[in-house]
Structure 1
Amino acid sequence: MSIRSAVMSLLLMNAASLVAFCAEPTSVTLPPKEKFQLFLLIGQSNMAGRGKVEAQDKEINPRVLTLNKAGQWVPAVDPIHFDKPGIAGVGLGRTFGLEIANANPEITVGLIPCAVGGTPIDRWTPGAYDKPTKSHPYDDALPRAKQALESGVLCGILWHQGEGDSNPAKAKVYEQKLDELVTRVRKELDAPEVPFLVGQLGVFEERPWDDAKKQVDAAQRHYAASHPNAAFVSGEGLTHKGDKVHFNAKSYREFGRRYAKAYLDLAPAK
């Protein structure tokens, strides 16, 4: 065999090995159920995440997992949501998981991503259909959560939503519907005391809030203040990615840290 042939053969072998390595699914070993802390991520696009994915968002932490679309536990690398393939990107969930894992080295975090971009709160009711994504947000999320609970313990519910209800008609009944949603989820998942975290809508200087958005904000704040095991997470100072709607990747990461702090402040014993 000539030197050239030998080199080409070696290159082909290396390329084949690389393809096989990349194609091989990453297997994970789950911890004991009591050490697998699960967090349900629900809401619309700013929970799903629309930030630009960078190298740091692909780094694997073996103690931060996510339930993928196929219902498998895999390492949590962005995007973890799949509501709109090709659009979903960096969100707040992965950073939240990393912060919780860092705060307690004895546990593994399991994220249950179920957010669906563009959904008003009415889509988060039993039987409701979201035509753009051809999905049933509530009816799809609950079975995923129950499947996850076979392996771990639900420790928190993270909610970011409200843009879809920021109009005069919907804003005035938003708090009532949020209360109904949380009560329903708690009952279905047998989680009466699990912390519920609601994140603030984007506060962007270039897009001042109208009265309806202020009303949604007030409803979220009041719900968190008037219910036990609930917290409001501020979005002050965060920036958008240029569309005046979605946070940029840096802000999503910061938001994830804020959600984690709110959770740890709310339930330090957990």
Structure 2
Amino acid sequence: MAGRGGVDEKEWDEYVPIECTRDRRILRLNEYSKLEEAKEPLHSGIDVNKTCGVGPGMAFANAILEKDPNFGVIILVPCAVGGTSITAWSSSNSSLRSQMIERSNEALKYGGKIRAILWYQGEKDTETEAASHLFPSEYHIFLHRLHQELKYPEIPFLQVALASGQGSVNWLDNVRETQIAMENVITVDAMGLEVGADGLHLTTNAQVRLGRMLADAFFQTIS
């Protein structure tokens, strides 16, 4: 979700597709919890341990405004941290989930409401067989605690089913089966989208496509 599109050998090529361009109606909550005009890389200053490139967020927001020019101002609240397992988000004392809740509440202070949660995670949980088998229970725990702590259980949760993994294809299948079987969430399947030379992360063009797929899924929640 943090976006590695255009990243090669820890360097971002700085190519920004037209679908990801800046718009004064698209803002982001930065690392200081201040609003600013959103731009790529969306997760700059948020996912600080890895090089960020193009992700699905900007393409998603631009597609929303393309489909509905009267939608209003969109505030994106980037919270992703690459290379993290579901247990890092699901544990009772998860600093990642706490930060996600805190940043969401900070964004609400500027007005409006939370319209959707976009979630793309799980590659780390395909590294080992044990992690892939632990994923189902921990994912359910994460979702329960997230909605409980956000206090808005009706918020649409848009998840991305994995396009790639880090271990055996069977372990990837274990995680994907859980994602696709989840109830009360909307699933966008990334399988088949182009993966980069590292064999793990989506290319820039694939990230754009994913963002637009997420926008289509979002409109299903309000139709």
Q: Which TM-score bucket, shorter chain as reference?
A: 0.7 to 0.9
Question: Structure 2 CA distance, aligned partners of 1:209 and 1:239?
Answer: 19
Q: Over residues 85-134 of structure 1, what are the superposed CA-to-partner deviations in whole Å (9 max), with x where a residue is unaligned? A: 66111000111111122232221111100000110011113434xxxxxx
Matches within 5 A, 1:83-98: 83-84=47-48, 87-98=51-62
Unaligned runs of 5+ in 2: 7-13
Deviation at 1:149, TM superposition (A): 1.3
Question: What residue is the counterpart of 2:64 in the other structure?
Answer: 100
> Is 1:180 paired with 2:141?
yes
Question: What residue is the counterpart of 2:115 in the other structure?
Answer: 155
Q: Over residues 193-242 of structure 1, what are the superposed CA-to-partner deviations in whole Å (9 max), with x where a residue is unaligned? A: 111111021249xx89521110100000011xx22xx1111113211221
- Is the Cα contact below 8 Å between 2:16 and 2:40 reproduced in 1? no
For residues 66 and 217 of structure 1, do their structure 2 counterparts lie closer, same or farther at Cα, with a shift above 3 Å needed? same
Question: What residue is the counterpart of 2:153 in the other structure?
Answer: 192
Question: Structure 2 CA distance, aligned partners of 1:86 and 1:174?
Answer: 23
Question: What residue is the counterpart of 1:118 in the other structure?
Answer: 83
- Is the Cα contact below 8 Å between 1:241 and 1:247 reproduced in 2? yes
SS of aligned partner of 2:180: helix
Aligned residues: CA RMSD: 2.0
For residues 203 and 85 of structure 1, do their structure 2 counterparts lie closer, same or farther at Cα, with a shift above 3 Å needed? closer
Question: Structure 1 CA distance, aligned partners of 2:75 and 2:145?
Answer: 22
Question: Structure 1 CA distance, aligned partners of 2:16 and 2:83?
Answer: 27
Q: Over residues 24-56 of structure 1, what are the superposed CA-to-partner deviations in whole Å (9 max), with x where a residue is unaligned? A: xxxxxxxxxxxxxxxxxxxxxxx0001123144
SS of aligned partner of 1:77: coil
Flag as ranges the 4+ runs of structure 1 deviating above 4 A. Answer: none
Aligned-partner residue type, residue 219 of structure 1: T
Question: Structure 2 CA distance, aligned partners of 1:86 and 1:48?
Answer: 9
For residues 179 and 241 of structure 1, do their structure 2 counterparts lie closer, same or farther at Cα, with a shift above 3 Å needed? same
> Is 1:259 paired with 2:214?
yes
Matches within 5 A, 1:1-270: 47-52=1-6, 53-56=14-17, 59-81=21-43, 82-84=46-48, 87-106=51-70, 107-124=72-89, 125-128=91-94, 136-151=95-110, 152-166=112-126, 167-203=128-164, 210-223=169-182, 226-227=183-184, 230-265=185-220, 267-269=221-223
SS of aligned partner of 1:74: strand
Report how many aligned residue pairs link the two structures. Answer: 209
Question: Structure 1 CA distance, aligned partners of 2:124 and 2:17?
Answer: 31
Question: Structure 2 CA distance, aligned partners of 1:55 and 1:252?
Answer: 11
Provide the TM-score with structure 1 as the length reference: 0.72
Find the structure with the greater CA-based Rg: 1
Unaligned runs of 5+ in 1: 1-46, 129-135
Q: Which range moved further: 212-221 or 66-75?
A: 66-75
SS of aligned partner of 2:200: coil
- Is the Cα contact below 8 Å between 1:66 and 1:74 reproduced in 2? yes
For residues 139 and 180 of structure 1, do their structure 2 counterparts lie closer, same or farther at Cα, with a shift above 3 Å needed? same
